[in-house]
Structure 1
Amino acid sequence: MASFHKGFIKTHPLISVILYVLRLYLAFSTVSPATTAVDPCYNYTVLNDTWRSINNTDGLHYNNSKCDRSVSWSGWYRLFINNTSAHIPDTCVARFSCGTDIPLGIRGGHPTVTDGVVTRDVCGYGVDTAASYCCMFGSFPIKVKACPDNYYVYELVSPTDCNYAYCADTGSINTSSTSVTPVTISPDPCYNYTVLDNPWRSINNTSTSNSYNCDGSVSWSGWYRLFINNTSAHIPDTCVAQFSCGTDTALWIRGGHPTVTDGVVARDVCGYYDSYCCYIGSFPIKVKACPGNYYVYELVSPTLCDSAYCADTGSINTSPTTVTPVTISPGNVTHALCFYWLIF
């Protein structure tokens, strides 16, 4: 034991030198500071136009109707109405509210603080001669974030058209998801359907004649299975170009097709126009996947003419469209636009 202790004492000066050199190295080393993302909850522009109130119906007078397309949007915004914190409505908003012709709300509910930054679709209520629908007019999606002090911020972008404007509401908030609970229908529509085999519905039909087909004039009843030239087809579940499928506004579904185990689900119907895949909205339809690798649809009359359901014999998308939270970094913010992908 004594010899061990003696050896330890001999090496002590060497250890001291090593520690001294290490301290010098650390003292002169350059440490790069960590980059912190700018939190939009504390870096926003206040938007406090009183005319945006959901209770303002001045939009009935077209000359007074506001348009957010002329605004130079930049970054994140927090809404106020008469010094009261507000939010963009997440339920149906009546036309001519919020001081505009088409008041804009969001769908999918507001996020919670733990959700981070999410993307939400923007909708405008519309009325046709025979129908009305909360999302008849779509606009580019926006990003939304819930903040710790019970308020929300939005990365606003120019709407697709005039006169569209973002609405502001001081009422209740919907933070519920819009997931659809599968239902069972009897008799089973997989074996009780009507065949829809119009060749003009093909996604490859891009005839530019002045005669466009309109499914608004069809007396829809029950479930349908699509065929193109004796080949089983389905309604497209990705963006479809305008003037396809023998019509002006070709209708497709978003949210992907279900699997057999999903049962009957509801899917939103969209139509492309003016560089946006869901510019024209229509009433949702029910969809079911059948064991023989085909699909049936409970079709309804579209909101507008000339619009018609499209038919495609290509691939199927069965992926859900849940929104993945994203992280905002300085200088790396992009708008979640749904541009038609064949244009670019």
Structure 2
Amino acid sequence: MEPMTVNVFLKFVLFGFVLGVSIGSANSSCFDSSTDLCDGVIPDIPYLATRDPTVMVTNVTFNWIFCDVYAINTSMWYKSKTPMSTSCPSMFMCGTKFPIWMDGQNPDTHDGLVNRTSCLRDFDSCCLHTYKLAAINCGEFMAYCFVDLPSNCHQRYCFDVKKSEPNTDITHTPTLLQTEATLSNVSSPKITQPAKATISLPDTDPHQWPPG
């Protein structure tokens, strides 16, 4: 092998080694947080409103800036008020051509930091390719860190933006005294007793039978 060819080959090997080290360190950064993720400042998932499985791709969301290869950074935490979709979406939904969904369940608050796998939806399969991510449930929001991301358009993660949640915000609970006072103010309808019927009997001797 000629010296110049050897030099080029060594440069490629060195570049691959450096790239591998940088990718490895970036992947581990999802789990190397020195502060509490739930108390830290975390950016929102970009373009969240267009990521619901009921939102079809449009000329707007088909723009390259909506692709997660450009919209999201690897090994960086993002938060969302709504969880990532955990069921296979249809093609051309979630505002993209090839949606990505979580193959598993979103964590509960007591689960802490967990590893998850996501799936790429295409024409023939619900899971043509998989991507790794980390997730944590902070109670008021979900947080996700993407270990690896799509390498090209048009692929993006789905979130259940439009899924309704139970209303647990009770701002007023009436006390027992308030309930009794409310009931006491309700007027009861007056009930008219029927008149007693009177029967007149002829004056007869009770010991005489038959009366006559």
- What is the TM-score when the length of structure 2 is the normalising length? 0.52
Does 2:115 correspond to 1:273?
no
Does 2:105 correspond to 1:259?
no
Given that residues 137 and 143 in structure 2 are in contact (C-alpha distance below 8 angstroms), is that contact kept between their aligned partners in structure 1?
A: yes
In 1, the alpha carbon distance for the partners of 2:76 and 2:110 equals 21
Q: Against the structure 1 CA distance between its residues 315 and 304, is the aligned structure 2 distance closer, same or farther, given a 3 Å change threshold?
A: farther
1:206 Cα offset (Å): 0.6
What is the aligned counterpart of 2:76 among 194, 212, 222? 222
Letter in 2 for 1:188: D
1:272 Cα offset (Å): 1.4
Counting aligned pairs with the same residue, the percent is 26
What is the aligned counterpart of 1:242 among 54, 69, 91? 91
1:141-152 equivalence runs, <5 A: none
1:38-117 equivalence runs, <5 A: none
Q: Against the structure 1 CA distance between its residues 305 and 274, is the aligned structure 2 distance closer, same or farther, given a 3 Å change threshold?
A: same
Given that residues 234 and 312 in structure 1 are in contact (C-alpha distance below 8 angstroms), is that contact kept between their aligned partners in structure 2?
A: yes
Does 2:137 correspond to 1:302?
no
Q: Against the structure 1 CA distance between its residues 236 and 315, is the aligned structure 2 distance closer, same or farther, given a 3 Å change threshold?
A: farther
RMSD across aligned positions (CA): 2.9
In 1, the alpha carbon distance for the partners of 2:89 and 2:151 equals 17
**1:136 alignment partner in structure 2:** none
**1:338 alignment partner in structure 2:** none
Q: Deviations over 1:188-208 (max 9, x none)?
A: 222221112512223221135
In 1, the alpha carbon distance for the partners of 2:153 and 2:57 equals 17
1:303 Cα offset (Å): 3.6
What is the aligned counterpart of 1:204 among 54, 59, 67? 54
Structure 1 gap ranges (5+): 1-129, 132-182, 227-231, 317-344
In 1, the alpha carbon distance for the partners of 2:108 and 2:50 equals 27
Letter in 1 for 2:145: E
In 2, the alpha carbon distance for the partners of 1:291 and 1:246 equals 27
**2:82 alignment partner in structure 1:** 233
- Structure (1/2) with the larger helix percentage: 2
**2:44 alignment partner in structure 1:** 195
**2:137 alignment partner in structure 1:** 289
In 2, the alpha carbon distance for the partners of 1:302 and 1:207 equals 18
Given that residues 282 and 303 in structure 1 are in contact (C-alpha distance below 8 angstroms), is that contact kept between their aligned partners in structure 2?
A: no
- Structure (1/2) with the larger strand percentage: 1
Letter in 1 for 2:106: H
In 2, the alpha carbon distance for the partners of 1:219 and 1:197 equals 8
Q: Deviations over 1:278-297 (max 9, x none)?
A: 12x242010001133x3110
1:145-184 equivalence runs, <5 A: none
1:305 Cα offset (Å): 2.0
Q: Deviations over 1:135-158 (max 9, x none)?
A: xxxxxxxxxxxxxxxxxxxxxxxx
How many residues are aligned here? Answer: 129
**2:160 alignment partner in structure 1:** 312
1:185 Cα offset (Å): 4.1
Q: Which has more radius of gyration?
A: 2
Given that residues 251 and 270 in structure 1 are in contact (C-alpha distance below 8 angstroms), is that contact kept between their aligned partners in structure 2?
A: yes
Partner SS for 2:44: strand
